[in-house]
Amino acid sequence: MKAGVAILPVDDDGTVYLTREFRYAIGRDSIEVAGGGIDEGESPLVAARREAREELGVEASDWSQLGTIDPFTAIVRSPAHLFLARGLSFTSTERDGAEVIETIRIPFDEAIRLVLAGTITHGPSCVLILKAARVVGR
């Protein structure tokens, strides 16, 4: 597996933009931050900008990298670079033909509650939401 990115867009009123997608490995829908792999020769920031636009139709003027995590330490090396995106503007999505992704728009505090309640279980999403909460003062 290649390295990837995870992106949490937050708008000026504290709304976050997440995805909901059926994940075959767990047999159910999963609520997650936007994300994907870093292409050959692409920087993590360029990949984050591309994935936010493709999956959510989000562009941002302010990007903060919140570190890197290793979600699969026992299986494979595949670091995930975490990004907080602010100063949002919106465009159309550019999803792959096979992707069936629903955009979820919820208050930041609700996203935190969903992590703590175990509703959001995707590791990079949980870490990014909680780290971003600290950065934005939630």
Residue 103 sits in a domain whose CATH number is 3.90.79.10
Mean pLDDT of the chain: 93
pLDDT digits 0-9 by tens, 21-52? 999 999 999 999 999 999 999 999 999 999 99
Q: Between the CA of residue 57 and those of 29, 88, 91, what are the distances in Å? A: 20, 10, 5
Q: Name the 3-class secondary structure at 1.
A: coil
The domain of 49 spans 4-136
Question: How many structural domains is the chain composed of?
Answer: 1
Longest dimension (CA), the chain: 39
Beta-sheet strand order (sheet of 102-107): 28-32, 15-23, 102-107
Compute the average pLDDT of residues 2-24: 95
pLDDT at 47: 97
Angstrom distance (rounded) from CA 88 to CA 99: 23
Question: Is residue 94 pLDDT above 80, yes or no?
Answer: no
Phi-psi region of 14 (alpha: psi -120 to 50; beta: other; left: phi over 0): left
Average pLDDT rounded to a whole number, residues 65-77? 86
What is the amino acid identity at position 84? L
The token duo for 97 is 């033909």
pLDDT of 71 higher than 90: no
Which pTM does this prediction carry?
0.93
Please report the pLDDT score of residue 92 as a whole number. Answer: 83
Q: Which is nearest to 6 in space by CA: 64, 61, 70, 84? A: 84
Q: CB neighbours of 131 closer than 8 A, spacing ≥ 6?
A: 66, 67, 82
